[in-house]
Amino acid sequence: MQVTPKFTVGQVVHHRKFDYRGVIVDVDPIFQGSEEWYETMARSRPPKDQPWYHVLVDGASHSTYVAERHLEPDHSGAQVEHPALGQFFDRFDGGRYHRSGRH
């Protein structure tokens, strides 16, 4: 059974466990990484059959791949600072980012 993702592209989220903010740039309905990555990086063993998100990390230059259970909405209304934002979005409005027409 397919699970509907709770979060969408452009939504600002907060990582519950590692306490960082970020913006979602892509959603996978189920885990799409390698088994090696999962064994090494996903130490809490989140479910693979639930949505996973590609997130640009606020105040950093890297992105992360995060299981849905580790995320919650960020209600601060603050923008995310990341050098790759312009590759995915062209504006911030109403507390969320919107995709540019270039994609």
* Residue at 23 is within a domain: yes
Q: In tens digits, what is the pLDDT along the chain, a chain of 103 residues?
A: 668 999 999 999 999 999 999 999 999 999 999 999 999 988 889 999 999 999 999 999 999 999 999 999 999 999 999 999 999 999 999 899 998 665 4
CATH number reported for the structural domain that contains residue 29 in this entry: 2.30.30
* Residue at 36 is within a domain: yes
The structural domain count of the chain equals 1
3-state SS, one letter per residue, for 37-75: HHHHHCCCCCCCCCCEEEEEECCCCCEEEEEHHHEEECC
State the DSSP code for 103.
Answer: -
* Residue at 4 is within a domain: no
pLDDT of residue 55: 98
Antiparallel, parallel or unpaired: β 71-73 and 63-67: unpaired
pLDDT of residue 100: 65
* Residue at 5 is within a domain: no
Q: Kindly give, in sequence order, each residue whose CB lies less than 8 Å from that of residue 12, ignoring residues fewer than 6 positions away.
A: 21, 22, 23, 73, 74, 76, 78, 80, 95, 96, 97
Sign of the alpha-carbon torsion through 28, 31, 29, 14: negative
* Residue at 7 is within a domain: no
Contact between 67 and 15 under an 8 Å Cβ cutoff? The reply is: no
What residues make up the domain containing 92?
12-99
